Amino acid sequence: MAIKENVEVFAVKQALSYLDKDPEKNLPKLLDWFDRFDRKDTLKTQREMIRSVVMDPDNNWHKLVMSLWEDIDPGVRNRFFENFIINGCLLGYQRQKEYKEKYNCNIPWAILLDPTSACNLKCTGCWAAEYGNHMNLTYEEMDDIVNQGVELGTYVYLFTGGEPLVRKKDIIRLCEEHPDCVFSTFTNGTLIDEAFAKEMLRVKNFVPAISIEGFEDATDSRRGNGTYQKIIRAMNILKENRLPFGISCCYTSANAEVIGSEEYFDQMIDMGAKFAWFFTYMPVGKGAVKELMADAAQREMMYHKIREFRQTKPIFTVDFWNDGEYVGGCIAGGRCYCHINANGDIEPCAFIHYSDSNIREKSLLEAYQSPLFMGYHDNQPWNENMLRPCPVLDNPGSLTRIVEESHAKSTDYQNLESAKEFSDKCVETAEKWAPVADRLWEKSHGGCAACGRCGKAENN
């Protein structure tokens, strides 16, 4: 297996070198090669979609792809393609599939992990603000997580927190030690400076996703005065150094209209963002501000706006609640990803702070076979309507049941909150979203639960 994988990686490097000579001309030829490489048709749907846009120079996706050659450092770009496409999506996926079948459990495509609970900001409604700086994963623990993950086929690692860049040196060290992996981070951006940009250029396999709440007023009102300008400075540094980055947007009752506006999308693209992750506010923890939860009308607005801009804007977007139809519903619990907090607790999701496993006591594989994770494995999807994917926000009670059955414990060590208390905060929001989601699902699918349920879109 190792010899085969090394040969395939070498082939991709050669192909990328060929592509660099004239991307506009040679990309279609590379796709022909990729068709032959993907012998098992693992990514047939994705390949066909990519081919359709590459052949149209006026297409926004074509413009996005070409911008990767115009705006991004060649070494960083090629390392990303090698690690993400070959390791993360082809070789990694095949290995994950083998272990899923062998052990009858979920094996994640990506792992989120918190290097630290410390943060230099105190954002309204953020659970990390309640945790303080007393929890940290050691470098050795993070290195062991990556080693175990790669063995199981997981090559993508995203840092959360806390503010991950409090641990800049250890993050760069992990990038050096694991050059075959993709590393990213959800960061407030305020700790990105010229020196760190030079380190990113050196290791070539680190891509930040900067959290931003909209324009200056909205961002500073939640994250603190002056934060927006620090974010803009960080984006300018990354752009000037030809480094790829994206944005992470939490839409709330207070900022959804701004986050979903064309003006906002255009500004982020102008700043240099190549991708955008969208989340809706979750009332995690006893200190959560329930009033920040987006209402049904705002969530529907985001559903339509993101789909509209996917047809017109050169930026890659994912809405982790409204895109359930593309991935077969909930992707947590190891189905596509899981989360490891700064105390070593292995959680199903970054928003689900319950666990029955810890990295200091169990291996990753043992955690994936634990009662809590098997509760996810055996019950996903939580709803036949993929626009209602979440076991908390969309299906209150589902999480409560599996947490209680697995005897999982709360991992919020400041103010323990039961799964029922957490879920109860979402009941009213779920009830109001259900008829809207059902209407949208019926309109787009005619009641067919096609995505991820009958093989038309494989759960990956």
> Is the confidence at residue 220, as pLDDT, over 90?
no
Q: How confident is the model at residue 456 (pLDDT cuts 50, 70, 90)?
A: very low
Tell me what the mean pLDDT of segment 59-88 comes to: 91
The pLDDT confidence band at residue 266, using thresholds 50, 70 and 90, is very high
What is the spatial distance between Cα 326 and Cα 323, in angstroms, rounded to a whole number? Answer: 6
What pLDDT is attached to residue 9? 62
Same domain, 109 and 51: no
For residue 49, the enclosing domain spans: 1-88
> How many angstroms separate the Cα of 358 from the Cα of each of 94, 124, 139, 331, 344?
26, 29, 16, 21, 5
Q: Of the residues 54, 88, 122, which one is the last residue of a structural domain?
A: 88
Task: Return the SS3 of 274.
Answer: coil
In total, how many domains does the chain have? 2
Q: What is the mean pLDDT of the chain?
A: 89
How high is the pLDDT of residue 14? 72
197 or 23, higher pLDDT = 197
460 assigned to some structural domain: no
Backbone angles phi, psi at 354, to 5 degrees: -140, 145
Q: Is residue 170 pLDDT above 70, yes or no?
A: yes
Tens of pLDDT, residues 396-453:
999 999 999 999 999 987 778 999 999 999 999 999 999 999 999 999 887 454 444 4
Residue 224 lies in a domain: yes
Q: Render pLDDT for 78-107 as a digit per residue (tens, 0 to 9).
A: 899 889 988 998 889 989 999 999 999 999
In a domain, 343, yes or no: yes
Contact 276, 316 (CB under 8 A): yes
Give the domain CATH number at 190: 3.20.20.70
Phi and psi, residue 242, nearest 5°: 60, 45
Question: Is 73 in the same domain as 131?
Answer: no
Is 222 inside any structural domain?
A: yes
H or E segment to which residue 416 belongs: none
- Same domain for 307 and 396, yes or no, is yes
Does the residue 456 lie in any domain?
no
Tens of pLDDT, residue by residue over 197-209, are 999 999 999 999 9
Say which residues have a Cβ less than 8 Å from residue 335's Cβ, sequence separation at least 6: 106, 108, 376, 377, 380, 459
Which pTM was predicted? 0.89
pLDDT at 148: 98
- Whole-angstrom CA distances from 416 to 29, 276, 353, 421 are 56, 32, 10, 10
Residues 293 and 366 occupy one common structural domain: yes
Distances, alpha carbon 343 to alpha carbons 60, 161, 240, 288, in Å: 42, 11, 36, 21
Element (H, E) at 346: strand 346-347
264 and 117, same structural domain?
A: yes
Q: Is the pLDDT of residue 121 over 70?
A: no
Task: Examine the fold and report which residue of 63, 88, 113 is the final residue of a domain before the chain moves on.
Answer: 88
On whether residue 4 sits in a domain, the answer given is yes
On the question of pLDDT at 1 being above 80, the answer is: no
Asked whether residue 363 falls in the same domain as residue 297, the answer is yes
Whether 366 is in a domain gets the answer yes
Instruction: Say what the pLDDT of residue 453 is.
Output: 40
Confidence (pLDDT) at 221: 75
Residues 15 and 109 in one domain: no
Residues 436 and 362 in one domain: yes
**Residue 110 pLDDT > 50, yes or no?**
yes
Q: Angle, to 10 degrees, between the axis of helix 139-152 and the axis of helix 168-177?
A: 40
360 found inside a domain: yes
pLDDT band at 2 (very low <50, low <70, confident <90, very high): low
Residues 80 and 158 in one domain: no
| Same domain assignment for residues 59 and 108 | no
pLDDT of residue 459: 38
Query: What whole-number distance in Å separates Cα of residue 362 and Cα of residue 372?
Result: 14
Q: Same structural domain for residues 311 and 225?
A: yes
**Is the confidence at residue 460, as pLDDT, over 60?**
no
Does residue 198 sit in the same domain as residue 231?
Answer: yes
